[in-house]
Structure 1
Amino acid sequence: MATFFATLPKTLALTLVSGSQSKPNPKKASSMQGQKPTPRKPRKASYGASRKSILKKSFNQEQVMFTAPLSDDPAVAIIGGGMAGLSCALYLEKRGVRSTVFDTGVHGLGGRMGTRMIDPQSLIFDHAAQFFTVGDPRFAQLVDGWLEKGLVQQWQGMIGELEVGGQFVPLPSLPPRYIGVNGMRPLADSILSQTTMVNVVRPCWISKLDPFNGMWHLSENGKPHGQYDAIVIAHNGKCANRLLASSGLPLVARQMKKLELSSIWALLAAFEDPLPIPFEGAFVKGVDSISWMANNTKKLLHSLSSGPHCWTFFSTAAFGKRNKVPQENIPSVTAEKVKEAMLAGVETALGHSAGSLNRPFYTRVQLWGAALPTNTPGIPCIFDPHGRAGICGDWLMGSSLEAASLSGMALANHIADYFQSGGARPDEFAVGLHNEFHPLEGHDIGQFPGLGSKEQMDEAQAYQLST
């Protein structure tokens, strides 16, 4: 296990080359050794940026080529505090490497491991990741730790597939399905609690990455946030694209640009009385506005009382795309339209007549504008050794909590191996910079390894819900 000690002064050796074909420019590198380049006169930015303009900036930018010796005690900046970023931080520490996690979360870490609690009604909703399965022994080790601490448990409630009109087919009980005992978000805190060398800065929106003096300098709207030997991008979507568009990492940016993401609406709804539904969760088939529904009250609180009962409903990706708006500022008319369409979809899925479903006393809609990947390169991580930058995330191997965790672990070990090598043979550590992407199969709300093969589903007995 590699351990790194006190930092020694380092000399600058940073060269910029255009793309991957131009020759190094010593004069340009020399001019950057003593002081930062004189900033250009800021240009008034227009609102937003088109995908075409971001692509053009990304592909035309110059490639950072770090040649400065690595620190004896290197530090890594991880941008994104979801499962992938936190797993990366945890496994970097296991290899003796310090890191700082920067996350935009106001309420806490976890990304899509989100649980929302509404007081004073004592309502609870898993409004992102609903449950997860385990297929890999490395992820199983992490889950076993959660089980020992009482943070997760098997979801024993009935879940299955619901065809339009009310035909329900239960899924087999294997593989085990796991949920957070108090929701998903505490799992993020648990990962962090296992560390002593991980610093967390939140809420923080890193807006710029500057290569200078052999280090990455991070800032948030002009406010410095330290310097690091390597960076990890552990989030995706428009924000990650804009961050990478002028960072000096065209190969990394090019791979990120290939990623396609779905948009999913979440409707949180609380009912005074239980809905006449025997299952606790269902993948919905044949309804445009609904792809998933789950009873949080029974799932998380095991309540069989008369209410309130808290349900999470997810839209299909097609519905999300058709009704997509800026998620930071959802127009009230759109929110109302989406809510009514999704409640109507629930009635259609259950085989109920229009308007027959009890009205919820509490509702909230949320758009996950960059919800889940629809394509993947099928690799554990991406790493550019010349730019000392990497990417981790569920989309690199699939669309699940397990995929996110394994990706973070893989990048952590890869970076630690690179540090241990001293960076003397960088080309040997390049990974994932040219892989092609292929379509990703799965449910609209993600993948669940081992869950419900077609043969098992064919053998399951379907029954019609009473209306």
Structure 2
Amino acid sequence: MPPSLLLQHAPCARPTAKRTASLFSAAVLASKDGGGARPPRPRPRGKPRFSRQSAIRKSFQQEQVVFSTPVSPDPTVAVIGGGASGLACASALAARGVRSVVFDTGMHGLGGRMATRAVDDERQLVFDHAAQFFTASDERFQKLVEEWVERGLVREWRGSIGELEAGGHFRPIHSSTPRYIGVNGMRPLADAMLPENDLIKVIRPSWISKLEPFNGLWRLFENEKPRGQYDAIVIAHNGKCANRLLSTSGLPQLTKQMKRLELSSVWALLAAFEGPFPIPHNNSYGTFEGAFVRGVDSLSWMANNTRKLFPFETDRPECWTFFSTASYGRRNKVPQENIPNATAEKVQREMLGGVELALGLSKGSLQLPFYTRVQLWGAALPMNTPGVPCIFDPQGRAGICGDWLTGSSIEAAVLSGISLGDHVADYFASCGERPEEFAIGLDDSLNRVEGHDIGQFPGLDSSQKPQVAEAQLTATI
């Protein structure tokens, strides 16, 4: 993480950094029982109840949990979600000497929407099938990006990108702001966000299904299987799963804010072609690598992953990522965990038809791809945002981070995670004695988001005015 995230010792966090690390190593992070900084707690009998040490008040049709137990000198935070914001939060906590456990649902790796799919094939097909590129405008994020560049993980994307009007009319976007991509795709950046120490443990794939306050701690469960006890929790994902998790948590203020969030749905089509795309005859720009598509209902973005990631390798097939518009995603939304074959075929056919329309090609003239895959991002772009870097409920010792709090970009996600990690560390440093001073984002109203079709890119110049989010979609999903 950026150098500004230096280790700071809280007055009530008596262990030194080395002591904290040794406690982390000795403890079984999947549970607070059985060792570590505190003696084992007896297993409760019968139906679990709230501790006498926790006060409960009625609010927003949920009973608000209010922890009154002292803050532990050796706290552990559960971070639910291993995308950019969750990883940034865990890293910020580690920089302050606070240990955490990150629970992530990813089957193939961390990163969430910083996703890269590599097809295990002799032809080595590689697709960035979520975040396509990013810019850096904030000094804290810029320092992190510079570290990635020095480590060879990130480089500038100098290929031609622009706006493609239906009919094949391409207009390049010229900007002095660097555009960045992962050298080997976006996913490796997720692993690079974690510091090389033992203050962070990652558990995946894991679907946390229940949160339960007990004896001044939060107990986590995965399908009734205990996943440990924690001093504070961070929700670093959104959508229906987060809403379901919070709905019975005893955190009505967090629940209210999360339920106010509106998200678009986006179809992604990955397609590999034997030869290059035909260049429309009415253009002289040459071959572009990425384009914001205008005037095509089923298409908002298209990018050539092969030229973007492997610019000097001419013998590879062309691997393209296409994204639908928000309106198309809304009309064709299905359960993303179980997409019917008929829907997948329809979406593929209509999106490839949208490619022909965008390029100004006659119907049916586009070469057929030899590999395709469709995916629905059911919770893609935020369509409204409170404009605060993070949300924290000090009474329930729980917070939310994510790009949706300030925008729709990798930069927004990372800065949100850093902000919440520092905020939680400051709360621990106060020993929880002035909780009212640490409430943030609980009552802020949400306003409509504006940005480019595939997210927000601070500093990226465009000849066209930003579009309102409900009429757009993103690849920074």
Range class of TM-score, shorter chain: 0.7 to 0.9
Correspondence for 1:112: 113
Correspondence for 1:36: none
Residue identity in the other structure for 2:9: A
Residue identity in the other structure for 1:423: G
8 A Cα contact 1:87 1:409, kept in partner: yes
Correspondence for 2:78: 77
Correspondence for 1:100: 101
Matches within 5 A, 1:41-440: 59-120=60-121, 121-277=123-279, 278-303=287-312, 305=314, 307-440=316-449
Secondary structure of 1:404 counterpart:
helix
Following superposition, the deviation at residue 8 of structure 1 comes to 4.6
Following superposition, the deviation at residue 200 of structure 1 comes to 0.4
Residue identity in the other structure for 1:214: G
How far apart in 2 are the matches of 1:388 and 1:320? 36
Following superposition, the deviation at residue 154 of structure 1 comes to 0.2
For residue 57 of structure 2, the aligned residue among 2, 7, 17 is 17
How far apart in 2 are the matches of 1:276 and 1:353? 11
Following superposition, the deviation at residue 453 of structure 1 comes to 4.0
Secondary structure of 1:73 counterpart:
coil
Following superposition, the deviation at residue 443 of structure 1 comes to 2.2
Structure 1 unmatched ranges of 5 or more? 20-58, 458-467
Following superposition, the deviation at residue 191 of structure 1 comes to 1.1
Secondary structure of 1:192 counterpart:
coil
Deviations 1:87-146 (A, max 9, x none): 000000111100000000010000000000012131000000000000000001111111
How far apart in 2 are the matches of 1:345 and 1:456? 23
**Judging changes above 3 Å, is the alpha-carbon distance between structure 1 residues 182 and 12 closer, same or farther for their aligned structure 2 residues?**
farther
How far apart in 2 are the matches of 1:195 and 1:395? 29
How far apart in 2 are the matches of 1:193 and 1:383? 24
TM-score (norm 1): 0.87
8 A Cα contact 2:210 2:222, kept in partner: yes
Deviations 1:156-213 (A, max 9, x none): 1000000111111111142100000000000001112444310000000000000000
How far apart in 2 are the matches of 1:454 and 1:429? 42
How far apart in 2 are the matches of 1:322 and 1:377? 27
Secondary structure of 2:276 counterpart:
coil
**Judging changes above 3 Å, is the alpha-carbon distance between structure 1 residues 195 and 402 closer, same or farther for their aligned structure 2 residues?**
farther
Residue identity in the other structure for 2:101: T
Secondary structure of 2:328 counterpart:
helix
8 A Cα contact 1:90 1:195, kept in partner: no
Residue identity in the other structure for 2:392: F
**Judging changes above 3 Å, is the alpha-carbon distance between structure 1 residues 456 and 176 closer, same or farther for their aligned structure 2 residues?**
farther
Residue identity in the other structure for 1:268: L
How far apart in 2 are the matches of 1:79 and 1:455? 38
Residue identity in the other structure for 2:216: G
Aligned length: 418
Secondary structure of 1:255 counterpart:
helix
**Judging changes above 3 Å, is the alpha-carbon distance between structure 1 residues 200 and 304 closer, same or farther for their aligned structure 2 residues?**
closer
Residue identity in the other structure for 1:149: R
For residue 2 of structure 1, the aligned residue among 1, 9, 12 is 9
Correspondence for 1:41: none
Following superposition, the deviation at residue 312 of structure 1 comes to 0.3
Structure 2 unmatched ranges of 5 or more? 1-7, 16-22, 24-36, 42-50, 280-286, 467-477
TM-score (norm 2): 0.86
8 A Cα contact 2:65 2:396, kept in partner: yes
How far apart in 2 are the matches of 1:317 and 1:403? 21
How far apart in 2 are the matches of 1:419 and 1:384? 13
Secondary structure of 2:193 counterpart:
helix
Secondary structure of 2:380 counterpart:
coil
How far apart in 2 are the matches of 1:12 and 1:82? 36
Correspondence for 1:46: none
